[in-house]
Amino acid sequence: MTLFVLLYLVNFLRTLVIIALIYFGIRVFTRYILPMLVDKGIKNMQQKMQDRQQGNQPPRRPEGEVTIEGQPQHKKNAADSKGEYIDFEEVD
């Protein structure tokens, strides 16, 4: 009978130790490791946004150089038009 009580007590203590290790492991992870990972992710996203922003800027030109920027004019071809739109009213 004492053997069963002893085994029960040992298993109970082992379970408590495992639960305590998991609890403290999660606390250490959320307190120290998780903020570092989030900070690294935020810095990575900021760097990507800066790179994307710099890629959208037009190249620097020397002072006094004249440039004309705009969309090229597209001429309509006869093949491009599919016909005219005719507005109509229903007759009762």
Give the separation between CA 84 and CA 78, rounded to whole angstroms: 12
Residue 91 structure tokens: 């007759």
Percent of the chain with pLDDT strictly greater than 90? 48
24: containing domain: 1-40
When pLDDT is cut at 50, 70 and 90, the band that residue 68 belongs to is: confident
**Which pTM was predicted?**
0.47
Domains: count for the chain: 1
Q: 17 in a domain, yes or no?
A: yes
Q: 77 in a domain, yes or no?
A: no
Give the separation between CA 92 and CA 82, rounded to whole angstroms: 30
Q: 8 in a domain, yes or no?
A: yes
